[in-house]
Amino acid sequence: MVKAVVLGAAGGIGQPLSLLLKANPLVTELGLYDIVNTPGVAADLSHISTPAKVEGYLPANDGLQKALTGASIVVIPAGVPRKPGINAGIVKDLATGIAKYAPEAFVLVISNPVNSTVPIVAEVFKKHNKYNPKRLFGVTTLDVTRASTFVAEILGDLSLSKEVVVPVVGGHSGVTIVPLLSQSSHPLPSGFAKESYEALVNRIQFGGDEVVKAKDGAGSATLSMAYAGAEFASKVLRAVKGEKGIIAPSYVSAEADTTGSAALAKELGKELSFFSSNVELGTEGVTKIIPLGKLTEAETALVKAALPELSTNIDKGVNFVSEAYKPQL
Ligand SMILES: NC(=O)c1ccc[n+]([C@@H]2O[C@H](COP(=O)([O-])OP(=O)(O)OC[C@H]3O[C@@H](n4cnc5c(N)ncnc54)[C@H](O)[C@@H]3O)[C@@H](O)[C@H]2O)c1
Whether 270 contacts 308, CB under 8 Å: no
Q: What is the dihedral of CA 137, 209, 170, 148, to 10 degrees?
A: 80
- pTM strictly above 0.95: yes
Residue of minimum CA distance from atom 13 in ligand 1:
81
Q: Is any ligand 1 atom within 6 A of the Cβ of residue 114?
A: yes
Secondary element (H or E) of residue 245: none
Side chain identity at 306, as an amino acid letter?
Answer: A
Whether 263 contacts 297, CB under 8 Å: no
Q: What is the pLDDT of residue 24?
A: 98
List, in order of start, the domains of the chain with CATH numbers.
3-138 (3.40.50.720), 141-316 (3.90.110.10)
Side chain identity at 78, as an amino acid letter?
Answer: A
pLDDT digits (tens, 9 = 90+) for 173-226: 999 999 999 999 999 999 999 999 999 999 999 999 999 999 998 889 999 999
Q: Is any ligand 1 atom within 6 A of the Cβ of residue 212?
A: no
Residue of minimum CA distance from atom 41 in ligand 1:
111
Predicted confidence band of residue 83 (pLDDT cuts 50, 70, 90) = confident
Q: How many angstroms separate the CA atoms of 326 and 329, rounded?
A: 9
Q: What is the pLDDT of residue 327?
A: 81
CA of 300 to the centre of ligand 1 (A): 33
Q: Has 172 been annotated as catalytic? A: yes
Beta strands in the chain (DSSP E): 3-7, 29-33, 53-57, 73-76, 106-109, 136-138, 168-170, 177-179, 246-253, 274-282, 285-289
CA of 94 to the centre of ligand 1 (A): 12
Catalytic residue among 47, 128, 172, 186: 172
Q: Is any ligand 1 atom within 6 A of the Cβ of residue 80?
A: yes
Q: φ, ψ for residue 289 (rounded to 5)?
A: -95, 125
DSSP 68: H
